[in-house]
Amino acid sequence: MHFSDRLLQWYSVNGRPLPWRQTNDPYVVWITEIILQQTRVDQGMEYFYRFLEAFPDVASLAAAPIEKVLRLWQGLGYYSRARNLHAAAKEIIENRNGQLPQTYHDWLKVKGVGPYTAAAIASIAFNEVVPAIDGNGFRVLARIFAVKEKIDTSKGKKIFQEIAAELIDNKKPGAFNQAMMDFGATVCKPASPKCPYCLFNRECLAFLDKSVDKLPLKKERKKPRSRHFNYFYFFWEENDGQTYFLVNQRKDNDIWKNLFELPLIETSQQAHPDKITASETWKFWFPGPSNKVLPVSTLVISHPLTHQTINARFFRMKINPDETKFLIKNFHAIEHTAFEKMPKSKLMVLFLEKIKNFTN
């Protein structure tokens, strides 16, 4: 029996009953594939329901303000996915009359859509015979065929694409691609694979030569960059007894673009408070003579990302309402209930959870 026939037979019995598999609507497939990039299925599930409830079609997504899109994405990480999704929806409405692409090559032209995502959408929604190889697929093929080429190189990707193109089922390409994902996720797992129960263990070259744990091969990762963020919780009380503080929306092409956060001074290393108050940014915030002394930070959070680690210190400072007149020109004055509703990074969410533990 051909590889694809055996895999599809396995899939018909063991495939995961995921909600997005109940339809071949290209919009639903597109949203799902973007959500599941760099995300576990169990983590992405709630975002799938939440996102489609808020934006049931491309028109509603395009019409939404980016802040609402990012707020619904909050906690999922890799926020460029949400920004690209929103930008792509607007482009589809404005330049394609709201019509989603129908082919692999046309999907590649959509912002934020790469070869894997384009292949997944084209095969699942339009039955186009094109292999979609994700991390699970790379692992399955690398082990069964003992491919020693690194999966994250151009040469390696080409080799794996050629193997998958030979194996894919021409009548059920979408089901084949999803079967590869499920087989890699549940049987040919990264750790503790279920080799004794694998339907391919008699011909799996990695299993036969006991190299399963060594495949697939990847390039050596660079050491994550370390950054030092100094955040300032400048707060004051108004006459109504409500506590206000300052936030800012990130604009640069950096992590967390368009998300809101506390005023920030980034330093090349952990800096003494005196050096922070002597910085140009601090002098811009508080021009003229100032006797402000930063308190010792009572909240320090190390926040690892894929390619960098954010070492964040939070300084809590009560300021005079008169001082806010200048600061508000550069920041937004807000109270906690309103900030809860704004899109922000997981680091800011952690800050909100821990703020009650601050000391004066």
Instruction: Give the per-residue SS3 of 314-347.
Output: EEEEECCHHHHHHHCCCCEEECHHHHHCCCECHH
β-pairing verdict for 308-318 and 225-237: parallel
Instruction: Determine the length of the chain.
Output: 360
In the chain, DSSP finds a helix count (H) and a strand count (E) of 17, 7
Return phi, psi of residue 300, to 5°.
-130, 130
Among 83, 177, 72, 164, residue whose Cα is nearest residue 122: 177
Among 82, 81, 58, residue whose Cα is nearest residue 70: 82
Tell me how far apart the alpha carbons of residues 116 and 108 are, in angstroms, rounded to a whole number. 9
Instruction: Please give the positions annotated as active site.
Output: 33
DSSP percent split of the chain into helix, strand, coil, nearest 5: 45, 15, 40
Tell me how far apart the alpha carbons of residues 268 and 272 are, in angstroms, rounded to a whole number. 12
SS3 211: coil
